[in-house]
Amino acid sequence: MTNRARVLIDCIDQKGLVYKISKVFFEHDLNIVSNQEFVDKESSHFFMRSVVTGEFCAKTLKEDILNAIGRDAAVKVAEPRKKNIILLATKESHALGDILIRYLDGELDANIVGVIANRDNLKSLVERFNIPFVCISADGLSREEHEELVLKELEKYDFDYMVLAKYMRILTPNFVSKYQGRIINIHHSFLPAFIGANPYKQAYERGVKIIGATAHFVTDDLDEGPIIAQDVIRVNHRYDWRDMQRAGRDVEKIVLSRALKLVLEDRVFVINNKTVVF
């Protein structure tokens, strides 16, 4: 029996949904600790995230909700547990280091099961936190050959999400398809502006007055997956692109950690190429 859960509902909008769902909670003698709902008017799609407490069977609760609102609905009853994440990195330490420190301080509601990198620059940093570190060099290998080695290594781990903590390699469609909706990336730009390589140099050449970072789910379209979190900082004409890059590292790590927290708490719903974030 369960005594606390997050109930996530995604379905076509219809009259009386909140009433029907709340009635099921009442019939199971559950207390609603928090509740948020949203209707995307363009698609007529309904989203709801509820936290409930009480003794109940998660499977039965899910079935009763489906019976009440329609079998086409997507319903998830997520029992409280720390999700497992694996981190992919290259050589930049700021995003990875920030996640590791939050993990050590107990701020990150997750288990970090390992770090995989294509360089060994961050090995000593990771091992200070007693987390397994594996370096799979890409030297002399095609992208596909390297990815096959990474995929083989990933099979050794049980994880819910993969976090690209400044993993500066473009993933192939084959790789993405194996972990669809489970790969989170931090892009050093306020998307959709300045997609691709060296966005700070692109921003400098454009003369922007703000720079930012975007955390998003990875899809086959480079830097165009559903956006989870974004933020910006101000710059001016005195900044060259390297100054922008240095300043941007702070916002990158904050945005990535914020996005990761939202995902771990089951606050993010994906609709087409957008997100609903509670």
Residues marked active site are found at: 223
Q: CA–CA separation, 214 vs 196, rounded Å?
A: 13
What is d(CA 81, CA 23) in angstroms, rounded to the nearest whole number? 26
Tell me if 62 sits within 8 A of 41, measured CB to CB.
Answer: no
Say how far apart CA 254 and CA 134 lie, in whole Å: 25
Q: Parallel, antiparallel, or unpaired for β 31-40 and 74-78? A: unpaired
What's at 175, amino acid-wise?
A: F
Distance (Å, rounded) from C-alpha 103 to C-alpha 83? 12
What is the C-alpha to C-alpha distance for residues 47 and 49, in angstroms, rounded to an integer?
A: 7
Round to whole Å and give the CA distance between 12 and 15.
10
- Quote the CA–CA distance of 274 and 278 in Å, as a whole number: 13
Q: What is the rounded CA–CA span in Å between residue 278 and residue 275? A: 10
